[in-house]
Amino acid sequence: MKTKMKASRRAMGMDYAIREVVVPAEAAAKAGKKLYRLNIGDPNKWDFETPEYFKETLREAVDHTDNGYGDSQGNLNLREAIVQREYEKHGAKICADDVYVTAGLSECINVLMATLIEPGDEVLVPGPGYPSYAQYANFYEGKIVPYRQIEEEDWRPDIDMIRKRITDRTKALIVINPNNPTGAVYPEKDLRAIGDIAGEYNIPLVSDEIYDKIVFDGEFFSLSRLPDDIPRIIMNGFSKVNLMPGWRQGYCYFMDKNGLMDEIREGMMKQFRVRICANVPCQEAARVSLQGPQDYIVDMNGKLKERADFTYKRLNEIPGIDTKKAKGALYMFPHVDLGNTWKTDKDFVIDLINEEGVVLVHGSGFCKEFGQSHFRTILLPPMQTLEEAYDHIERFMLRHH
């Protein structure tokens, strides 16, 4: 009998909680359960539509642009559009050579972690935080060191903990703002304090700003506005604000006045050359999405704020659940009292799927240290869908809590 082939321990160690819950959800659907899929932050699955002029550009690009390989760093006209847009949004003073276009922000995270990390190196990440950073850092045998976001203070970052958890193995400090999964929008004062720490310890800041225009309470402050001597990599993409998640377009840009990250840039570029290029026709559509009318963002934020306000009110009415209000992004991160009913938040989520068909993501999937006894929900569905889903959650909690 032939021995079954084994996958690498690196691959088998990957665990992406956001899609992990799809497995029990599909089993429940096959058993006839109606599902309320509140697990994935995909605006296009609900009543948000990619603007027509983006789609028309893509159709024309397929017919009229060169469909051969593109520049490994990203097509120049898109990189120039990113330079202009980042200046208009945040006052970022960069040039096209500072910008790298990727197949979604996920590829950018992967390539960055592969470049930064040797086995045993550490990366500071927000806890809770978007799990791809932790998954890719672990894949390259790094160590994730979470820093707390303070729930009682609207999920602001714990500046003292950041400082205390820096070691001589710390290779990067990750900031996700507006935050996934909490919906927090960090105060400028805290972000400047984080910048001061990065500058003091000479640690590169990696700022995930993919939700930078999805803010409905407070002001967004980009880390591109920090002093020039702080080395930074700003991450962004087109999946959320630009409503193009399936087109897989992302980018990052370096702000590194003193050239401290020159070798990091070259290490990333070597990988971009190996993977050839990002999708060429979609780059043309991405360019136009930055340069055309932006009024759709106002409409999107209006709907999201209404749904965020309703979610905040409704979930806080349910016994055993309490939540802070989201100020941006597409999510809220409520606390759930597990009591003696559930051993873990994952058990809570799976029971809820099986009994009521509401699909959430367990909070420990975003950080084992600071995410437990929570869950992430999304703000994207129409009001009627949210009302029905939260009614199901309330029935579930009244039955068990």
Concatenated DSSP letters of 65-96: S--S---TT--HHHHHHHHHHHHHHH-----G
370 pLDDT higher than 80 = yes
The yes-or-no verdict on residue 13 having pLDDT over 90 is no
- What is the average pLDDT score of the chain? 95
CATH class of 9-49+295-400: alpha beta
Categorize the per-residue pLDDT at 15 as very low, low, confident or very high, splitting at 50, 70 and 90: confident
Q: For residue 293, what pLDDT is reported? A: 93
The confidence band for 29, taking pLDDT boundaries of 50, 70 and 90, is confident
pLDDT reported for residue 277: 95
Q: In Å, what is the CA distance from 176 to each residue of 81, 193, 207, 324?
A: 23, 15, 6, 17
Is it true that 9-49+295-400 and 52-291 share their CATH fold?
no
As a CATH number, domain 52-291 is 3.40.640.10
Domain ranges of the chain: 9-49+295-400, 52-291
Q: 101 pairs with which residues across the strands?
A: 251
* pLDDT computed for residue 95 by the predictor: 97
| Cis geometry, peptide bond prior to residue 146 (ω within 30 degrees of 0) | no
CA dihedral over 132, 251, 274, 124, signed as positive or negative: negative
Picking from 327, 359, 267, 305, the residue whose alpha carbon sits closest to that of residue 40 is: 359
pLDDT in tens, 84-99: 999 999 999 999 999 9
The distance from CA 90 to its chain's CA centroid, rounded to whole angstroms, is: 19
185-189, 216-220, 300-304, 369-373: range with lowest mean pLDDT: 216-220
pLDDT at residue 321 in the model: 98
Q: Is the pLDDT of residue 397 over 80?
A: yes
What is the model's pLDDT at position 200? 94
| pTM of the model as a whole | 0.94
Q: Which residues pair with 377 in a beta bridge?
A: 332
Q: Give, to the nearest 10 degrees, the angle between helix 131-139 and helix 104-116.
A: 40
Q: Write down the pLDDT at residue 379.
A: 98
- Strand intervals (E) in 115-269: 122-127, 143-150, 156-157, 170-176, 205-208, 232-237, 250-255
Question: What DSSP designation does 326 have?
Answer: P
The secondary structure of residue 122, as a DSSP letter, is E
| CA gap 244, 130 in Å, rounded | 19
C-alpha–C-alpha distance, residues 245 and 237, integer Å: 9
| Tokens, residue 343 | 């051993």
Residue 16 has pLDDT above 80, yes or no: no
